[in-house]
A = this chain, B = another copy of it.
Amino acid sequence: MEQLSVTKAFEGELHRYKHSSSSTSTDMVFAVYLPPQAKNHSVPVLYWLSGLTCTDENFTQKASAFRMAAKLGLAIVCPDTSPRGLELPGEHDSYDFGSGAGFYVDATQPPWSGHYRMYSYVADELPELIEKTFPVSDKKAISGHSMGGHGALVIYLRNPGAYTSVSAFSPIVHPSKVPWGQKAFQNYLGADKDLWATYDATLLIQENGANTPILIDQGDSDSFLEEQLQPNHFEAACARANVPLTLNLRAGYDHSYYFISSFIDNHLEFHARKLMG
């Protein structure tokens, strides 16, 4: 691992690293915020998955999360949203596919397979690396925004017991049925709809249920709400599966990090109650 930077924030430290990933067969960059408590004892970890076009830095710079993380004693790990540096054909042609848009799946279709394996990277490789390297406990939670909200819900639902809690901002809850998800799944996963279903939070929760209450915040002035997000599908599936869901529809808020920053403290407190309760 190569340490790219260490920056003090709220008496804790934000570290960035580059490492060679066995999941993606590329270098990957991630950030980890270590709260001041990590100097004295191991702390639980929240994994934050970002949305389309993002890197690890969108959350660290714009979410206003470290004040509360420092108060609660919570580490936050922010992976990138795709492998980088591959220069695959078409990789950089659109904002919603390829670089910056790994969709937290393990691609099966060339040329993406073998590299675009963000599911394995985030669900398996990264937590193992984090727990081996930093003063953290094995208690972990997961959250994310938009494409990252989809990733958080899917990784949580496919790994029962691995995460104490899950939340999301403006998640893509039913990717099989919306343009962003269909484009990504068709290209990364091919035509196999059964495989698509293993990466679709609405279908997963219908099938498997969930062990803990789920928290979602969604702005009602989000320009992607109607076409791409449609949280009503997930809400209905949770009701059918008898999973407690708090879906906060926030009047006047959009899809931006200004929205996330406005409610991130609530999400951190939600996770801290489970992680430390």
Q: Tell me whether A8 and B258 are in contact (CB under 8 A).
A: yes
| B61 touching A7, Cβ below 8 Å | no
Contact of A147 with B by CB under 8 A: no
Q: Mark A5-45, 1 if CB is under 8 A from B, else 0.
A: 00111110010000000000000000000000000000000
A224 at interface, CB cutoff 8 A: no
Taking the complex as formed, is A137 at the interface, i.e. its CB lies under 8 A from any CB of chain B? no
A8 touches B62 (CB 8 A): no
A198 at the interface (CB under 8 A from B): no
Residue A262 is within 8 A (CB to CB) of chain B in the complex = yes
How near does chain B come to A68, taking the closest CB pair, in angstroms?
Answer: 10
Chain B residue contacts of A11, Cβ below 8 A: 262
Q: Are A9 and B67 in contact (CB under 8 A)?
A: no
B9 touches A259 (CB 8 A): yes
List, in ascending order, chain B residues with CB within 8 A of A61's CB: 61-62, 257
Interface size class of A (residues with CB under 8 A): 20 to 34
Whether a CB of chain B sits under 8 angstroms from the CB of A64 is yes
- Per DSSP, chain A at the interface is mixed
Question: Is residue A252 within 8 Å, beta carbon to beta carbon, of the partner chain?
Answer: yes
Residue A256 at the B interface, CB < 8 A? yes
Complex alpha-carbon distance, A221 and B6, angstroms: 11
CB-defined contacts of A261 to chain B, threshold 8 Å: 9-10, 64, 66-67
What 9 additional pairs, Cβ within 8 angstroms, besides A8-B254, A64-B66? A7-B254, A7-B256, A8-B252, A8-B258, A11-B262, A14-B258, A61-B257, A64-B64, A67-B67
- Interface on A for B, CB 8 Å cutoff? 7-11, 14, 61-62, 64, 66-67, 219, 221, 252-254, 256-259, 261-262, 265
Q: Can you give 21 contacting A-B residue pairs, CB < 8 Å?
A: A7-B256, A7-B258, A8-B221, A8-B252, A8-B253, A8-B254, A8-B259, A8-B262, A9-B258, A9-B259, A9-B261, A9-B262, A10-B262, A61-B61, A61-B62, A62-B62, A64-B64, A66-B261, A66-B262, A67-B262, A67-B265
